[in-house]
A and B are shown apart, each in its own frame.
Chain A
Amino acid sequence: MTEEKKTKKAAEILVEELTKTPTNGTWLQRVGQSMLIPVLAVISGLFLGAVFIILTSEDVYAAFGRSIGQGLGASFQIVWESYSALFTGSLGDPAKISAALQSGDGEAIRRAFNPFFESLVASTPYIFGGLALALGFRAGVFNIGAEGQVFVGAIFAAYAGYAIQGLPAIIHIPLALAAGALGGAIWGFIPGWLKAKTGGHEVINTIMMNYVAFRLSEWLLAGPMKRPDSFNPISPTIAESAMLPRFFGYPIRFHLGFFIALLAAWFVYWFLFKTTWGFNLRTVGANPSAAKYAGINVTRYMVLGMTLSGALAGLAGTNEVLGLNHNLALAFYSGYGFDSIALALLGNNHPIGVVLAALLFGTMRNGATRMQVAAGIPIDIISILQAVILIFIAAPAIIRTIFRLKEREDVGGVRMVSGWGGN
């Protein structure tokens, strides 16, 4: 296979399920079509975010008090400052990078590149969470309980991390990862099983399971799992053999978890689209009646979908414990589980889309800290930005209206190829 063909194949995989309706045209056009709405949503989000930045800036009001011109100048200034801080904070400051490279000082170089790696670190749990939700959606279940599963995964991973000592890392790390996945899986299985057996709706049950998980972790951290020498509700530090290795020296925290997440994304892709299990799962999600007709055990695959979704969410918590915090503290509130719902939608419930969306979310979250420091913009503006982007994603009609895109007439149940029916 020539190199050119290889790239083409990779790109085709990228498109394959991102585009729900493969339309005519080259693969490049198809990529364009599937990415168009998300990209435009991000642009619109940034624009609306700018409006919020201006509206919340006292400097701008003061400048408008002096004159309109100064006000406009100040508005432009604050937006420019904020977004350049967002950019340098998440990807690195080009000036600093070149200076550090010229100086040749190892730590300076690492510091210069640190923002970029921090973004990857921040994206990692989002990848797991997004995959969890995407897999659930594909199986036709709405796993609102990812947040609770993240917690339970973290509890299991922390326990496996500190309670077992003296194992080599090559065994301890997989073991702790498996424990975290198991924790999440259990927390996903329960509502899945309840749905299958009693018809109890998973949305309600997973929300309730979230509360159980939160309170359970409080109790555990105040009691059985509490660090013996501490007054704070915090678990013991995990064994060094369970810590995910970091690739660069201080201060870069970039660790193995990112690659495990990419591996998980590949696995979910392979599982969903290349195996009979995935076929069953997707069929159950896409049309339960047809799945039953085709001889697929619908309830079994719903439960499986919830369980696997839980396992992936559990890995998000595991990743934070084994890769970053190295313990479990009461303050371990992530929000990943909830953000992941949105993220999965942004990624069109496709593993590749989820990875891209997770990178975007992680990058924005990371850059937001810098934006707060450099431009004095509240970190919440990033939440607003994310929310606005998601509103646009969830309602593509808004984007179509803003950018005057022509609606694809094959969407929305109108059959565009009906012309082939005749003889």
Chain B
Amino acid sequence: MTPVLELRNITKRFPGVLANDRINLSLEKGEIHALLGENGAGKTTLMNILYGLYAPDEGEIFVQGKPLTVESPSDAIDSGIGMVHQHFMLIPVFTVTENVMLGEEATVRGGFLDRKFTANRIREISEQYSLEVDPDVYVRDIPVGVQQRVEIIKLLYREADILILDEPTAVLTPQEADELFKIMNKLVESGKSIIFITHKLREVIDVADRITVIRRGKVVGTTTPDQATKEQLAEMMVGREVQLELEKAPPSIGDVILEVKNLLVLDDVKQVAVDEVSFSVREGEVLGIAGVQGNGQTELVKALTGLHDPEMGSVFLLGEDISRAKPRTITELGAAHVPEDRQKDGLVLSYSVADNLVLCTYYKEPYAHGVVLQQEPILQRANELIEQFDIRTPDAQTPAGSLSGGNQQKVIVAREFSRPTRFVVASQPTRGLDVGSIEYIHNQILKKRDAGTAVLLVSSELDEVMELSDRIAVMYRGKFVAIVPADQVTKEQVGLLMAGVAPDHAGVSEINMLGMEEGIS
């Protein structure tokens, strides 16, 4: 049988980089083909070629055995190829219907929009694949997971047979991801074919029919989930043996570093986001905050780091009240902050790596004498950190925006972890990163903890919280529903707590009490 899609010897060069090196890939009808590789391995470049956003330097594309030249996305769409980008292409102030019909508007009587036709079509598609999307709601009002399904509907509405999903789970909660996998299975059952781009091993094992691993622009190999283990796949991806399980020494816990009492924080629309939360973090421990995103973690971190003043309650860092302190005061007390959104808060993308590495210390000796910046020490420091934290960049003067996500995060981690600190807040520190970078950042966090720093880890990746934390606080609707020692709960129990199940129903009532007392002490 001819494959529905075949890529032969695709090569793409960028100045100084061979992004795709003679890549071959075939996609069978009704197959989920995972394209696995680290960030920057060339997966997205390859798909952008297929989708007509880049022209390949060499190579051919065949659809249903026929050669195809794609010069623009519309060529790709015409031949039944559709793509859901990592960052959605939706207009928030339009309804689902309007978003779906955009560019392919159904009209009646010579030019009037026929919303009804499109809306009905959306309902049909939604029903066929159990997408549960209401065509009449505004995109800004629906959760990210549903927005993604709107993107999928856009493709199905245009009758795409080959769906490319670029890192679709990066923005989803574990539950939403599971829903997506069900949808993907339904899609292939009805004859669609899917290219699933990811760097997450678990997902590949769970849903893919075949797996092609790409490293540094080359195909390393194609395999199936039955034939490969996670460890093997990780090794193929990274090119060396990867330690998937962390080695963690028992904690040596010391004094209380951060103490939070009855903290009440409002969000931007004046709703209670953090509801009278109390806890403490001590020297040499990692307190992990688990919770589905949007349960107040973001606001909690903002209040602790001085980015948002709390309504009520107190925060003591090393005995100083910082509940209304400015970010810089808190930083100077010895706090470091790896922010949730690295591109929005953590970096100035147009600045060089060197300038980003001194973003919190540029005004101090030796980087400035008085008000005059000292280029030499800044560059020297940058080169040290680039070396020490293994930041892959052409040089220290390269704009941070042109690095890959993993390396951008390493810039932030290098900046925040290289300072002498007593307290570290790491918010979603590995979101969207590849296996190699995750391993690296996890080890850095544990190193900080072993050096006696108090670490507050906020993550919506339950695995991450379970692995790194000494104690786990579960946050649900602004409250800590439980604070438990990490070695006394199972992943399932924490999962239930995250979903809002009461602690005694989740089977953690006793240790919960114990944990809470310890937390308030």
Contact = CB atoms under 8 A, between A and B. Distances in A.
B7 interface: no
Majority secondary structure, B binding face: loop
B331 A295 contact: yes
A98 B304 CA distance: 75
A334 interface: no
A295 B328 contact: yes
A287 B15 contact: no
Given A294-B327, A294-B359, A415-B402, A422 B215 contact: yes
Contacts of B434: 421
B173 interface: no
B344 A420 contact: no
Interface string B368-407: 1001110000000000000000001110011101111111
A22 B348 contact: no
Contact of A420 (B305, B394, B399): B394
A276 interface: yes
User: Which bracket fits the contact residues of B?
Assistant: 35 or more
B41 A422 contact: yes
Interface stretch (B16-24, B118-126, B243-251, B268-276): B16-24
Contact of B351 (A286, A295, A419): A286
A416 B398 CA distance: 12
Residue among A24, A289, A410, A421 with the highest chain B CB neighbour number at 10 A: A421
Nearest to B397: A22
B364 to A, nearest CB: 9
Nearest to B373: A274
A283 B41 CA distance: 31
B19 A421 contact: no
A232 interface: no
A420 B327 contact: no
Contacts of B355: 279
Nearest to B41: A422
Contacts of A293: 305, 307, 327, 337, 339, 345-346
B167 to A, nearest CB: 13
B221 interface: no
B371 A418 contact: no
Contact of B402 (A289, A290, A416): A416
A278 B384 CA distance: 25
Interface in B302-318: 305, 307
A423 interface: yes
Given A276-B362, A286-B351, A287-B349, A423 B240 contact: yes
Contact of B371 (A275, A290, A296): A275
B40 interface: yes
B420 interface: no
B267 to A, nearest CB: 16
A279 B373 contact: yes
A423 B38 contact: yes
Given A292-B327, A295-B360, A417 B373 contact: no
Interface string A65-103: 000000000000000000000000000000000000000
Nearest to A283: B348
Given A295-B326, A295-B328, A419 B14 contact: yes
A6 interface: no
B404 A24 contact: no
Contacts of B41: 421-422
A276 B359 CA distance: 11
A409 interface: yes
B3 interface: no
Nearest to B39: A421
A76 B307 CA distance: 65
Interface string A380-412: 000000000000000000000000000001100
B346 A290 contact: yes
Given A21-B399, A419-B42, A420-B403, A294 B394 contact: no
A419 B360 contact: no
A292 to B, nearest CB: 6
A56 interface: no
B363 interface: yes
A421 B305 CA distance: 30
A20 interface: yes
Contacts of B359: 283, 290, 294
Contacts of B407: 420-421
A277 B360 CA distance: 14
Nearest to B14: A416
Interface in A250-296: 273-279, 283, 286-287, 289-296
Interface string B199-236: 00000000000000001110000000000000000000
B348 A276 contact: no
A165 interface: no
A23 interface: yes
B307 A292 contact: yes
Contacts of B394: 24, 417, 420
B350 interface: yes
B392 A421 contact: yes
B345 A21 contact: no
B238 interface: yes
B45 interface: yes
A236 to B, nearest CB: 40
A29 to B, nearest CB: 12
Contacts of B54: 409
B15 to A, nearest CB: 7
Residue among B305, B348, B362, B407 with the highest chain A CB neighbour number at 10 A: B348
A421 B327 contact: no
A416 B393 CA distance: 12
Contacts of B362: 276, 279
A290 B38 CA distance: 27
B40 A420 contact: yes
A276 B363 contact: yes
A422 B407 CA distance: 10
Contacts of A422: 37-41, 215-216, 239
Nearest to A295: B328
B428 interface: no
Nearest to A410: B402
Contacts of A423: 38, 215-216, 238-240, 436
Contacts of A415: 401-404
B347 interface: yes
B323 interface: no
B17 A416 contact: yes
A419 B372 contact: no
B44 interface: yes
A418 B239 contact: no
Residue among B45, B54, B239, B371 with the highest chain A CB neighbour number at 10 A: B371
Contacts of B346: 290, 293
B360 A418 contact: no
A273 B362 CA distance: 13
Contacts of A274: 372-373
Nearest to A25: B15
Interface string B158-199: 000000000000000000000000000000000000000000
Contacts of A276: 362-363, 368, 371-373
8 contacts: A22-B398, A292-B307, A417-B14, A420-B404, A422-B37, A422-B216, A423-B38, A423-B216
- The 4 A-B pairs at the shortest CB distance, nearest first, are namely A421-B40, A295-B328, A421-B404, A419-B17
Given A274-B372, A297-B326, A418-B40, 14 more contacts: A21-B402, A22-B397, A24-B16, A276-B372, A286-B350, A287-B347, A289-B345, A290-B345, A295-B327, A418-B19, A421-B39, A421-B392, A422-B39, A422-B216
